[in-house]
Structures are given as structure tokens and as C-alpha cells.
Amino acid sequence: MVPRLLYIFSANALDTSGFRIQPVKSSGENCNNHDQIPDNCQDHAIHFIQTFALAGEPVVLNCPPFRYKHMDASSLLFNLTWHRNGSTEMIPSESRGNRIWSHGDALWFLPASLEDSGEYICTQRNSTYCSDVSLHLIIVNKSAAQYISYPQKAFALSSGHLVCPVLEEFIQQDTEYELRWYKDSTLLNIDNKKFKARKGTDYLTILSVSMDDSGFYTCQMTFEHETVKYNITRTIQLQILGQKKKSIPVIVYPTQKITLAVLGSPLTIPCKVFVGANSHTYTDVWWLANKSYIGTMYKQGRVTEGESQKFVENDNNYIEVPLIFNSVKEMDFNTDFMCVAQNRLGHQVQATQVKPEDRPLSWYVAVIPVALAAVIVGGVCMYRCWRQRSAQGYILAPGQS
């Protein structure tokens, strides 16, 4: 889940697609002064997706764990440090007396201020290797909270859930946290028949969603550090979609009742099922052979069901389950195969039979008649040409000049 500004990731998002790797030549030996920035690392990555947060609230930047794989595998010991781009000093690892401090692979701002906006670099180093990654942080005023909102959707005439995002770093163990929910700056009554929420959960349930429920929602929790309490605020923009349509599954392939196969050859028959706007989890798809399960009919595993593939095409959901023959045998030609798709609204069955297909003639066998015909036609043409030239006196007798 990301804020609705383009290409925004939360500080806790760890999608490696947000990185651009740039090799950097080392400029010398490692620096031993831990208070200063060491020499350039061999590898440098840029997390070009920015993190946005509100001024006056805690913020956490995490050094992505995927960078660990670049460290020397022969040694599990490495040193991780943080510094701000353009600064020559490392950010301290102790929180007491420091508003910005590091802890493990995380950089904490308690609280963040507008001047904290900028680029921060975490560096991982051991005795033989070094790599670092740059992360960009932008702090905005609370009046701009709607511009860094998180988009979420719900369907009309059904129950909807709003999730308060990016709270992992602030939920303390063994504490039953509680969120406060607002809509358009008005505190919601979560004890009525419209909204429900429970302590220790990060979501709000909206019963019987209507189009009027669209808009901006705010979730807020209290975070305490060293006896100081801070607010954690997230803004969500809820979009209401039309009533969620449900339908029975429709088998779109195979459509033919006969599938041709070559004896002794492998064969795959996919069963592709359209499930529309339904969730994939509500529909089951399987194959039968002579009204028996495939595993029962083919205990040796010569014919098996492949893994169920769930995918989306043109905003519609599909499920595909292939029937896989390691090699086609005579008995398969006398077997009735059926693909079955079923959900709570209904089911559909599509039958198909495997029939033998003659092996095609080799290309050179097919070419032989054509080649013979060409030779015959060519010979006739040459004979006619010779007769014609002979009749016109162009053929010289032997010995003449």
C-alpha cells in the first residue's frame, strides 16, 4: 500500500524494484574513524522512491535487507552506519539526547521536522566489502496530509475494511494499542451500526458501504518513547466502487469435445476458467477421468493435474489448471476427461476426449511427388525446345564449322 503521490513507498516497503545499482570504485583503504564518512563503497544503490511523513511525528527509515547479499559470505560480521548526504558525520546510535538516531538497520526521527527532508545513506561494511543505499525523505506540514494519502477501495452494498498503513515500527509488543478514526476531521463513533473497530487491530470495518462513504479518513495512534508521547497519523482516501458482481464460473477452454494427440507423445490440455470479479479463493477447478479423480485413475502419475494458476486479464479474474500427459497411450483414447469449475453460485463442466492424430509425413516424403513432377515438366519443355531449334536449322551436323 502506498500513498497516492506518484511513486511513493512507505519507509517499511522493501520492493527491490525501487533500487538502481551503481558500481563505485573504491578510493582507498577503509577509514577507521567511525565518526567520519568512510571511503566510497564498491556498490551504491539508490532507492529512488521517496518516503513522505508529517512534521512533528515519528518517522523510521529502514536500510533494505536485500543489500546484505552483497556482503562477504565468509564473514557474518558487518558494521551498519547512517549519515546524511553532504554531512561528514555519522548519525549516532544512541537515542538519549538525540532527536535523530540509528538502531540496528533503522534510522529514527523523534520527531521529524521540515528541515529533515533530504537524502540519507546507510552503509554496510565488513573487512572485505562495502555497499550502501540512499533513501530520500520528504517531511510535509500537517495541512498537506491529504496530498500524501494512501488510496484504498471498497464495494458498495458490502462490508469494507480500511487498513491503517505502516504502523509496524510503532506497535510495541505486549501492548494493546488502540486507533482513533476520523472522517473529514470528525471523530467516528465506532460503537454504532455503521463503523466497527477493536483494540489491537489496525483496521476499521464499514458496514453496508454506500457511495457517501467515499472521502478522506484519518487513523491515529499514540506512541510512547522514553516517557514522551507522540501521535502517529495516516490519511486514507477511500474510493467506493459499484456493487461487486458475482457470477458462476465459465470454462472458456477447452471448447472442443475432441483433443487430437499423437500416440506416445506428451500432451497438455489447459482448463481456463473465467471467474469475473469474484475472488480466486471462491472457485475450485479440477479434472476428472471417467468420473474419477486424476490421482485415482492414474496412480502411477503418468497423467497428472498441474498447479492452479490464478491471473488477471482485462480486469477479470481467471483460473487455469492443466491436465498433463507424460505420454499418450491407447487407453487414453477410450477415456472421458472432464474439467469441473465450481463456486458457491454454481458450477460448469466441460468434457473432452483424446483422439489419435496420424503422424504427419516427413517433409522430404511430401516433397518427392513435387520434385518428380518438376523433373517431368522440365524434361518435356527441354524436348520441345530441342525439336523446335532442330526444325529451324540451328543444329549443326558433326564436322561442320
Residue 126 confidence (pLDDT): 83
- Host domain of residue 111: 16-141
Question: Tens of pLDDT along 56-72?
Answer: 999 999 887 644 444 44
282-321: b or e for each residue (b if 16 or more CB lie within 10 Å)? ebebbbbbeeeebeebbeeeebebeebeeeeeeeebbbbb
Task: Check if the beta carbon of residue 126 is closer than 8 Å to that of residue 77.
Answer: yes
Residue 16 has pLDDT above 60, yes or no: no
Q: Residues 229, 290: one domain?
A: no
Hunting for cell 516517557 — which residue is that? 227
Q: Of 141, 158, 177, at which residue does a domain stop? A: 141
Tell me, yes or no, whether 373 lies in a domain.
no
Q: Residues 83, 153: one domain?
A: no
Total count of domains within the chain: 3
Residue 35 confidence (pLDDT): 61
Give φ, ψ of 125 to 5 degrees: -145, 140
336-343, strands of its sheet edge to edge: 258-261, 346-356, 336-343, 284-289, 292-293
Residue type, 115: E
Residue 128 confidence (pLDDT): 81
Question: Tens of pLDDT along 340-388?
Answer: 999 888 899 999 999 997 654 444 445 455 556 665 656 656 656 656 6
**Between these two residues, 129 and 72, which has the higher pLDDT value?**
129
Per DSSP bridges, beta strands 186-187 and 228-241 are: unpaired
Q: Residues 24, 137: one domain?
A: yes
Tell me, yes or no, whether 385 lies in a domain.
no
Residue 193 confidence (pLDDT): 81
Q: Which three cell numbers stand for residue 359?
A: 503422424
CATH number for the domain spanning 289: value is 2.60.40.10
**Of residues 70, 37, 63, the one with CA closest to residue 134:** 63
Confidence of residue 392 (pLDDT cuts 50, 70, 90): low
Q: Residues 263, 347: one domain?
A: yes
Residue 255 confidence (pLDDT): 81
Q: Of 141, 175, 207, at which residue does a domain stop? A: 141
Tell me, yes or no, whether 386 lies in a domain.
no
Tell me, yes or no, whether 167 lies in a domain.
yes
Residue 171 confidence (pLDDT): 85
Residue 156 confidence (pLDDT): 87
Task: Check if the beta carbon of residue 91 is closer than 8 Å to that of residue 144.
Answer: no
Q: Of 141, 164, 198, at which residue does a domain stop? A: 141
- Burial of 148 by CB count in 10 Å (0-12 exposed, 13-18 middle, 19+ buried)? buried
Tell me, yes or no, whether 109 lies in a domain.
yes
Q: Which three cell numbers stand for residue 76?
A: 557474518
- Segments in 227-354 forming alpha helices (H): 294-297
Q: Residues 187, 292: one domain?
A: no
Residue 116 CB contacts under 8 Å (≥ 6 apart), including other chains: 59, 100, 109, 137, 139
Lowest mean pLDDT among 146-155, 273-282, 330-339: 273-282
Q: Which three cell numbers stand for residue 323?
A: 491436465
Task: Check if the beta carbon of residue 49 is closer than 8 Å to that of residue 7.
Answer: yes
Tell me, yes or no, whether 173 lies in a domain.
yes
Q: Residues 81, 161: one domain?
A: no
Q: How far apart are CA 190 and CA 210, in angstroms?
A: 17
Q: Residues 96, 180: one domain?
A: no
Q: How far apart are CA 110 and CA 229, in angstroms?
A: 10
Residue 364 confidence (pLDDT): 43
**Of residues 351, 354, 322, the one with CA closest to residue 335:** 354
Confidence of residue 326 (pLDDT cuts 50, 70, 90): very high
Q: Residues 99, 30: one domain?
A: yes
Task: Check if the beta carbon of residue 41 is closer than 8 Å to that of residue 26.
Answer: yes
Longest dimension (CA), the chain: 126
Q: Residues 347, 233: one domain?
A: no
Q: How far apart are CA 127 and CA 75, in angstroms?
A: 8
Question: Tens of pLDDT along 188-242?
Answer: 988 778 899 988 889 999 988 999 999 999 999 999 888 889 999 999 999 998 8
Beta bridge partners of 205: 161, 196
Tell me, yes or no, whether 396 lies in a domain.
no
Question: Tens of pLDDT along 19-44?
Answer: 343 443 333 344 444 466 655 687 88
Q: Residues 104, 195: one domain?
A: no
Output the DSSP codes for 29-49.
SPP--TTB--SPPSEEEEEEE
Residue 215 confidence (pLDDT): 94
Percent of the chain predicted with pLDDT > 70: 73
Question: Tens of pLDDT along 82-95?
Answer: 999 988 889 998 87
Residue 37 confidence (pLDDT): 60
Residue type, 88: T
Tell me, yes or no, whether 117 lies in a domain.
yes
Residue 268 CB contacts under 8 Å (≥ 6 apart), including other chains: 306, 322, 323, 324, 325
Q: Residues 69, 165: one domain?
A: no
Beta bridge partners of 187: 182
Q: Residues 199, 304: one domain?
A: no
Hunting for cell 470495518 — which residue is that? 205
Residue 370 confidence (pLDDT): 55
Beta bridge partners of 315: none
Question: Tens of pLDDT along 247-306?
Answer: 788 999 988 888 888 898 899 999 999 887 666 567 899 999 999 999 999 999 999 999
Q: How far apart are CA 335 and CA 259, in angstroms?
A: 12
Residue 30 confidence (pLDDT): 42
Residue 376 confidence (pLDDT): 67
